[in-house]
């Protein structure tokens, strides 16, 4: 089979987690537009609306609920909206992503593993962020022209939903396209407010009614200064612990991009509520730049005055987190108070699934991922585990008040959204992600044995030390293969969530079983491997067991293997000495 062949028969599906932010303002503070609520629909209409909120660099412990993080909430950052939807919806405490922005977004948009040619994105930038002296060299990623972007022929969830009659809107950070125009012309969204190829907002506040040039110009329609009416309607009902004078002081100041994204999304919902809609909100928060100039003034003052917590407590970061949370509250409240033209007698929330997830683990400079080890950019749990929530007021879509311990991964989001939207099964069958709709409403278990990650390159900077590795998570076990020294590390996450105790030597049978599955998966997805860097001495070792390289698995018995510069450095799974 030729290298990089697109075998899209879904093998071992990456998990996807749908998260829905659900917060409703207290009844005493409800906005003037609120209408009488009706009960949940007896049965959903055939095609529910879908709102997806993807927070940026939002760590596992950045929420003030313990439901999404196995009882390890922040004691400084406040997220009342996310806390509430985690109670009312389904909270996943084993929700996984990729190591940083672009691979997560690519997997989420395509529903495909990173090694697939329609994805082929593993890191922001390139796979050699470790200097020229590393032992190995990562392969090229992204498009044939070198851009870390989806190819034009990649089939996205936006395109799949367009095909079954959805109006699709994108809001905020995209980061896996050549340009903002491609989001509409190539990647399946009818409208794009703010999305470009940039990975950060440049600045969070507008200046003279315009956002930074990294943000697409369509969002400038919502960039006007705060007015008294805006503050009274959209900020005061969702503010906690801030006096009225501090909120009124926002009047006449520059609009924050997080608020503008919510404005644009709510406008999109209102314009399309008579038809099925899909709104993808790619929040810029809480990605850098993080600092006092980036925070909304009322929230910055709140966190400056607040007593520090036991873990990392950054006022500017806290202001970005709570600003995002307030706008999740606005979205949920709008769904709960807006009549649904397609479902007479009910509100939009009765036939809408709202999803929330981070795109990767938190950055240790601003947050504490503990008890997890590692941070954004690393395959340790702190780099790939995030809060994930699914919410709806319709229990046939999401049966709430549950914590689900099932390990799930972002590519599952695509499969789940496609299933909820009624995308034909034949089309959904080409996705790597698993359909989680049965987990959302509690009707069915998830029949999947393992999750997989593959990173054939380096990210050694900013306190991170990520080298070429492949990973499998199955049940309580996490097995990690390191290509530089051909070693295996095994962790029991049920009893060692911090990955402190390597059990590979004590559990050789587990290593052999999971290692065999990992090799089989790498072969199935045609995973490219790092090569021995030019100028390095050849690697020579003897193998009794199996190897994977150059798109093939080879069984070997006491065979000497020599890897020369420019050749792929293989996965090596030795048969335990006692079994030879």
DSSP letters along 491-537, please?
Answer: EETTT-TT-----TTT-HHHHHHHHHHHHHHHHHTT----EEPTTSP
Are 421 and 166 in contact by the 8 Å Cβ rule? The answer is yes
DSSP state of 552: E
pLDDT of residue 563: 98
Cα–Cα separations (whole angstroms), residue 492 to 92, 359, 469, 503, 510: 19, 24, 18, 8, 11
First to last CA, the chain: 31
Which tens digits make up the pLDDT trace of 393-440? 999 999 999 999 999 999 999 999 999 999 999 888 789 999 999 999
pLDDT of residue 25: 35
DSSP state of 577: G
Write the CB contacts of 229 (distance below 8 Å, at least 6 apart in sequence): none
Which tens digits make up the pLDDT trace of 235-254? 999 999 999 999 999 999 99
Q: For the residues of 205-263, what is the DSSP string, one character each?
A: B-BTTB--TTS-GGGGGG-PPP-HHHIIIIIGGG--S--HHHHHTTTTSPPBHHHHHHH
Domain coordinates in residue numbering, the chain: 27-125+142-451
- Which residue is listed with tokens 């930074």? 212
Q: Tokens at residue 485, please? A: 């020294």
Task: Provide the Cα torsion 306, 311, 315, 316; round to 10°.
Answer: -160
Are 389 and 404 in contact by the 8 Å Cβ rule? The answer is no
Q: Hey, what CATH class is 27-125+142-451 in?
A: alpha beta
Distance CA(455)–CA(122), nearest Å, equals 6
pLDDT of residue 45: 63
DSSP state of 135: S
Choice among 101, 167, 205, 256 that is catalytic = 101
* Segments of the chain with pLDDT less than 50: 1-42, 44
Is residue 101 among the annotated active site residues?
Answer: yes
pLDDT of residue 223: 98
Which tens digits make up the pLDDT trace of 516-560? 999 999 999 999 999 999 999 999 999 999 999 999 999 999 999
Backbone angles phi, psi at 412, to 5 degrees: -65, -30
Average pLDDT of the chain is 92
pLDDT of residue 579: 78
Is residue 256 among the annotated active site residues?
Answer: no
Distance CA(290)–CA(247), nearest Å, equals 21
Distance CA(435)–CA(421), nearest Å, equals 12
Are 111 and 156 in contact by the 8 Å Cβ rule? The answer is no
Choice among 72, 167, 175, 334 that is catalytic = 175
Distance CA(563)–CA(290), nearest Å, equals 44
Which tens digits make up the pLDDT trace of 14-38? 333 333 333 333 332 333 333 333 4
């Amino acid at each position: 089979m030729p290298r990089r062949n697109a075998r899209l028969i879904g093998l071992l599906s990456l998990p996807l987690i749908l998260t829905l932010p659900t917060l409703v303002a207290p009844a005493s503070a409800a906005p003037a537009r609120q209408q009488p609520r009706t009960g949940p629909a007896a049965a959903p209409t055939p095609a529910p609306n879908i709102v997806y909120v993807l927070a940026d660099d939002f760590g596992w412990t950045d929420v003030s609920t313990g439901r999404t993080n196995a009882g390890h909430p922040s004691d400084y950052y406040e997220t009342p909206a996310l806390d509430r939807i985690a109670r009312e919806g389904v909270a996943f405490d084993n929700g996984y992503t990729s190591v940083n922005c672009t691979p997560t977004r690519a997997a989420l948009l395509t529903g495909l593993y990173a090694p697939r040619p329609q994805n082929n994105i593993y890191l922001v930038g390139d796979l050699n962020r470790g200097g020229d002296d590393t032992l190995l060299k990562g392969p090229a990623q992204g498009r044939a022209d070198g851009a870390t972007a989806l190819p034009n022929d990649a089939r996205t969830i936006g395109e799949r939903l367009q095909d079954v009659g959805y109006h699709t809107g994108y809001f905020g950070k995209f980061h896996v396209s050549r340009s903002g125009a491609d989001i509409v012309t190539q990647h399946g969204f009818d409208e794009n407010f703010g999305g470009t190829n940039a990975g950060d907002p440049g600045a969070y506040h507008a200046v003279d009614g315009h956002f930074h040039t990294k943000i697409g110009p369509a969002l400038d329609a919502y960039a006007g200064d705060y007015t008294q009416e805006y503050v009274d309607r959209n900020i005061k009902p969702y503010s906690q612990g801030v006096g009225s004078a501090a909120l009124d002081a926002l009047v006449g100041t520059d609009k924050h991009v997080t608020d503008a994204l919510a404005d644009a999304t709510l406008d999109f919902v209102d314009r399309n509520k008579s038809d099925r809609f899909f709104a993808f909100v790619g929040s810029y928060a809480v990605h850098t730049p993080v600092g006092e100039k980036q925070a909304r003034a009322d929230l910055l003052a709140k966190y400056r005055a607040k007593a520090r917590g036991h873990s990392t407590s950054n006022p500017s970061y806290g202001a970005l987190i709570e600003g995002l949370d307030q706008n999740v509250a606005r979205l949920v409240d709008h769904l709960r108070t807006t009549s649904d033209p397609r479902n007479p007698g009910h509100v939009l929330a009765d036939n809408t699934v709202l999803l929330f997830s981070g795109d990767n683990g938190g950055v240790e400079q601003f947050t504490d991922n503990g008890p997890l080890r590692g941070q954004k950019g690393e395959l340790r749990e702190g780099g790939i585990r995030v809060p994930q929530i699914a919410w709806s007021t319709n229990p046939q879509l999401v049966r709430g008040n549950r914590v689900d311990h099932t390990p799930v991964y972002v590519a599952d989001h695509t499969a789940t959204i496609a299933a909820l939207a009624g995308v034909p099964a034949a089309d959904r069958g080409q996705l790597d992600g698993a359909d989680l709709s049965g987990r959302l409403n509690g009707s069915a278990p998830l029949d999947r044995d393992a999750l997989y990650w593959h990173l054939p390159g380096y990210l050694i900077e900013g306190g991170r030390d990520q080298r070429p590795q492949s990973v499998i998570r199955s049940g309580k076990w996490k097995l990690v293969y390191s290509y530089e020294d051909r070693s295996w590390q095994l962790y029991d996450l049920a009893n060692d969530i911090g990955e402190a105790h390597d059990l590979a030597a004590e559990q050789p049978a587990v290593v052999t079983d999971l290692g065999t599955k990992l090799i089989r998966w790498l072969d199935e997805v045609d995973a490219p491997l790092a090569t021995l860097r030019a100028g390095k001495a050849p690697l020579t070792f003897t193998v009794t067991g199996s190897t994977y390289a150059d798109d093939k698995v080879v069984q070997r018995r006491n065979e000497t293997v020599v890897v020369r510069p420019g050749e792929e450095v293989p996965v090596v799974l030795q048969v335990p000495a006692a079994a030879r």
